[in-house]
Amino acid sequence: METDQTKVISVLVENKPGVLHGVANLFRRRNFNIESITVGLSENIDTSRMTITVKGDEKTLEQVVKQLAKLIDVLKVEELEPGHFVMRELALIKVNVPTTKDRSDIINCVEVFRGRIIDVSTDSLTVEITGTPDKLDAFLKLMQTNGIIELARTGITALARGAKTVRIDE
């Protein structure tokens, strides 16, 4: 019995309208859930880089990579090797702050996690924190005691380590 695993896929696509829809539609047609997806311009203004995180068995994930590569607007698809890429995620967290002591405790915790306070009100603090998903999860677990009012996470973005690149050969 194969177990589900998480894969990070780097996809270079043409930078034009409708490409994200086409990629998302591929996953929908295959009844496959995207854990996270980030999209932004790459080093080339004509291309965008998608970082897609998916979970599934090896056979299904292999099929997804092959199907992605067949899409017209997809220029390159590569599964990033575990341990051979760097990844980060951004989270904005609005935390309930009922007392002065709670405010002080949260500020100390933000400093330990190398986050930043980006908004302050009388009864809440909004924190910006970046790092690996595990780091964000650990911070969120600590904040649950105070009460998380609102949360927005970007999903991971990643690049291969060292000299290895996911680029279109020029």
The CATH number that applies at residue 139 is 3.30.70.1150
Structure confidence by residue, pLDDT tens digits, 36-89: 999 999 999 999 999 999 988 888 888 889 999 999 999 999 999 888 999 999
**What H or E segment, with its residue span, contains residue 25?**
helix 19-29
Neighbours of 156 (CB within 10 A): 22
Angle, vertex CA 81, rays to CA 80 and CA 84, nearest 5: 100
Domain shared by 9 and 76, yes or no: yes
Structure confidence by residue, pLDDT tens digits, 114-124: 999 999 999 99
Structure confidence by residue, pLDDT tens digits, 64-73: 899 999 999 9
| Confidence (pLDDT) at 170 | 47
Residue 167 covered by a domain: no
Three-state secondary-structure class, residue 144: coil
The first and second tokens of residue 22, run together, are: 């086409």
Residue 60 covered by a domain: yes
The CATH number given to whatever domain includes residue 34 is 3.30.70.260
Structure confidence by residue, pLDDT tens digits, 132-146: 999 999 999 999 999
pTM: 0.83
State the residue range of the domain holding 74: 5-80
